[in-house]
Structure 1
Amino acid sequence: MRSAWLAFEYYGEFYPSMAVMLAVRDLNLTMKDVELDPAGRVRIGAIEIPTDRAFRMQPAFFADISGETFAMYSAADVLDGKVPPAALKDKLVLVGPTATGVGARFATPLNVQTPGVELLAHETASILDENWYLRPGWAPWVTALLIVLVGLYLAWLLPRLGAALGVTLSAVLLVALLAGGLVMLIGMHLWVELATPALLVLAGHVLLSTKRLLVTEEEKETISKESAETNKMLGLSFQSQGMLDLAFEKFRKVPLDDDMMEILYNLALDYERKRQFSKAANVYEYMARHDPNYKDIQTRMERAKTAGETMIFGASLSGGTAGTLLLTDGARPTLGRYEIIKEIGRGAMGTVYLGRDPKINREVAIKTLALSQEFDENELAEVKERFFREAETAGRLTHPNIVTIYDAGEEHDLAYIAMEYLEGTDLTPFTKPDKLLPKVAVLKIVGKVAEALDYAHSQGVVHRDIKPANIMLLKKNRTVKVTDFGIARITTSSKTKTGVVLG
């Protein structure tokens, strides 16, 4: 809203503006007919103009539909008689420069480059037509109150609203303020500054929405980091418990970076230890998406793919001549929690390995039963049930002359029993005529075996396969150990091989 001074103070004296002087002349009045009211009014004859205490009014600006304001004629055309006298008769004529670049220019609601003489015409016409805008005394209070209310809305109500409802309510407030200001300005010629509260609504909503968005994104990032850390910890927990598939599932939800590459590399090694080479290859392929040159994953990936197709683990004498294959330059394979060190024997139904329990660093003998290779599909369930039932029965026996059973389980395609590792030899070599033991030694051995069998019978366990091959004589202290309790019963109904040790 543009203001126009109607009077100027100069050394204690007030002088009328050009617009006032023109209006006085047009109304055939004198300057004595002009009164200045310090309360904020200027009277020109019968015309009373509301102003502020500095005698400023808010003039109206006039234009037709095409945007034309006042009739303008070139001074040269007037002097040359090209403008008919009737066009200027009984008119208030103002003379001044209007050409671009000549004279002062002012910004008005109609034009940002309004010539000074045209601005004077608008001010004069506003006085003569008694057409001006009024800024009531209560307008600043209304503006201040609306600013306070908008501030409360932005500070208290908007943060508690949802995004959609907040946008709707802010839009309604913005439209109401702008529309209310326009209605009062155009329809009532009242100037109440509602643009400031409206701008505050718009700017406040944008700022709060931006802050909410940034906070939301920050929370999402925090949640994402926390989720990634949680998945990483869960994956490590699953991995430590041997649940490698669940571990890999959790690790895939963590962003792939250098730290995760090391974790995934160890996971792939665990898959190799458990002879799940195809899954190890899958982990290496997943790692290659981030860094195909990380350590030796390319070599390991190719080797794991090949091993997945050719690896034979736990083969038996009946399974052909293929032996146990271990990945070169790789970690040792495992069965359950036991690391496989080397093959130490082979029987009719599986292979015997020297293993190590990493938790207590104890060497164990591990007998394996390759179920998928040794049994038909319809026999598999029965064989597994008997295998674990007999292993549990033998595991109840605790006697100094009976081999100790530590653990039994099933992993991948193998059933296994972990037992006491006996470093010695069975009695088979001593059955040859040239290697017979002294009678005293034989009697001691028979006595120890009898004590072991008596104890087993007291526990409801019958060996059923006592023979020199199942009696071990230890090198260290010549202790006698009875082996293969109950295991032979599995092969009795399934695959009988007389005189051959199962496992």
Structure 2
Amino acid sequence: MKLPGFLKNVQITDVDKSFVRKHPGLILYLLITLLVIALFLEQNRLFENFENKIQDAMFSFRGEQEVGDDVVLLEIDDKAIDYLGWWPWSHGTLARMIEALDYYQPRTVYLDFAIKNNVDDYVSGNSHLLAENIQQSRNVIIPFEAVLGSRTPSTQAAPEWLTASSITPGVISQDDVEKIQRADLPENIFGLASKYLGADVNLFEKDNSVRYQPLILKYENKYYPSVELILSAYYLGIDPNRISYNPGENIQMGNRSIPVTGKGHLLINYLGKSNPFKSYSVKSLWEGQVPVEKLANKLVIVTLTATGQYDHLKTPMTPNMPPGIKTATVVENIIRNDFINSLDASSNAGIVIILGIGLFCAFLLPRVALVHRFTILVVFLFVLVNINFILFSSFNTITKTLYPALEILLFMAAAPMMKSKADIRRKEEKQRRANLQLRKNMTREDKREAEPRERAFTIETDPNVKVRKERRKKADEFAPTTAINTKEHEQVGEETSELSSFDHSVVNVDDAVIDQGSGDESDIDLEHHQAAPELHTPAPGEKEMHKPPDASATGGIQISFDESGRPSQFGRYKILDIVGQGAMGTVYKGLDPAIGRPVALKTIRFDKLANADEIEELRERFMLEAKAAGNFSHPHIVTIYDVGQDKNIQYIAMEYLEGRTLDNIIKRKQDFNFRIVASVISQVCSALSYAHDRHVIHRDIKPANIMVLEGFRIKVMDFGIAHFESSNMTQTGVAMGTPNYISPEQLSGKEVTKSSDIFSLGVVMYEMLAGQRPFEGENLNNLIVKILNDEPDRPSKIDPKVPPLLDHVVMRALEKDPLKRFQSAGEMEKSLQDFISSFAPKGVRY
């Protein structure tokens, strides 16, 4: 976390130490306040996610809001589809709908769907009829679908009818707006016929919710309005050329000011969970049942709401809002100036609120008792939540609620640590009275009665009078201070209890020493007695229970076993649990106690991999490859920390991962979308490319050796040891597993190259795309024959939705001839990266 500049130069030495001692509560509360301000300015993703959840809750609690009658929805719903036929309708049906709408004379019509191309419509002339009706209406606006990205094409290939809808929002930087990476444009005849075109785009956040709407976007070298912005401008009679943009502040549309955040995002003011707008079915329009005045001079949005015909949007109000209602909501916000004002991190108001709460609590709380502190903080928290909700529901203003609430909660946690000034004064007064009472009671008779206690405290048993006097002198100097500072003394309210508490503590000290059975007590002085440690030093020959095994004593690592016969420690690594077991070894979850780091410990039994005369050679090869893999440092390769051995058992300590193997996910019949498939395989390619450049071949790429972490990040496992496990199949003649992922040249006993890894990865990719392996056999021999001779079907033959580019990549990776495959993992990765950046079809898995 980066601290703001004004905090970087603050050092503890700059603060007067006496001031810190006198005002610890004030200092602590101010430090908490500075910490919260730093978090507020940093906008940490975790805290911002919590802040979004709080805002979503405010929308839900606020409930339904009133809307005007400017926007009307004309729904293509289940009744309309039952009446006019299955969607998409022919261009002739759409042309008649536009003609019927024209009779009602709406001010603006927006078709909230893409007009699909249809050869029959073009041949029959219905497409031209639809274009003519759109043009004659002179009020129809259609969308072009925009895919956002980090860059926009540098070409100037946009048709003139599209650039005619562009705007000139002023002098702005390309980083001040969202960029359209790819635009799906309608056919020329419809683009030419429409009044304007707007960008149809949804901005999804990390949790897939739509909270903001980009209003201005850049495509090629032009700026285009979103459909919501152009609809509002046209409905209000504002020339689009009068739209200007002040980055990060507002969009000026005529005399209207639209507040936006960074990159021209409008915080959407959702108006209800259900559809809050006047709505009519296209069936009612077709039958003439809609009164003319209901649509006349209105902004009509024709949108899909039929079951299964639209993509649900997750919003703060509902997880399945139709896109047309979201569009209508944004238009309603702009037309009626019904905006949400947000105080983000760039606003000084948020810092002022946090600082005000902090200063108030820092000066007030240390002065009051603990119960009053909690009362004040709870009231503060209650008032804060209610004020924020009132600001939102009544004034459409959202403040950062989380950070002030976090500050108050931290104050609650710190409250018991601080003593109030009244507590400190009471403690000082109690100590003063105890001293006075002690002096009054210290008469000669009291001193003689106290003499045994003094001897007990100083452990005086030596008959030598001189030594006893010296020890009594030390006890006289020390005992009153000890009695006053004892914990029991501070906690008891009465003076008599305080004195008896002192006596009891003295007796306890004496008993503790006597119980230890010390011999020559005359040699034990007061200082030694005070500092008596609780450490235990084992006697010579005594067994040390927690001492780790000494590797140097055995010439290798030492494996310890518990009472049940299970290994409890490999070298310095403690065994915590068994993760999995195989024919040749076991995988354990372990702990490196030196740094408290969890590790995965994988064992390999060499006696099960080779004959006795081959074990030493195999062990040497293992060490060489494990050391080579141990030098790897790559985000998609599991890190190897250490290797060790004991007789025929070899272990390897590696990075411990929380996730699932790809094999586990595939067996659960996970329906992968194509972008995830490309992303996973691309990450494996990156790992293989890194290893191949260092002359290390994996030899056993398969789903079980690919660990999938959160967000479909992957790690390739078993570099440096996969070869030894897979080699067991040919050395012993016993198949440890079926060779579904092994390349033809491996099965033929030919030289294994980096191309062999590419073939194995192609089998994995095929299985993810098609849901089955490319080669299946009734038995091992039959499977090997198919791998060597058969050509598998393309994945698209099994699942027609598989894109041609992925078909090409997987089939090239599965070529029998290594020279026809990708010649490097990097080449295969580049093909997949091109797919990830360019492929974004609508209506298929993505």
Q: Structure with the greater relative contact order (CA < 8 A, sep ≥ 6): 1 or 2? A: 2
Specify the structure having the higher radius of gyration (Cα): 1
TM-score (norm 1): 0.37
* TM-score under structure 2 length normalisation: 0.23
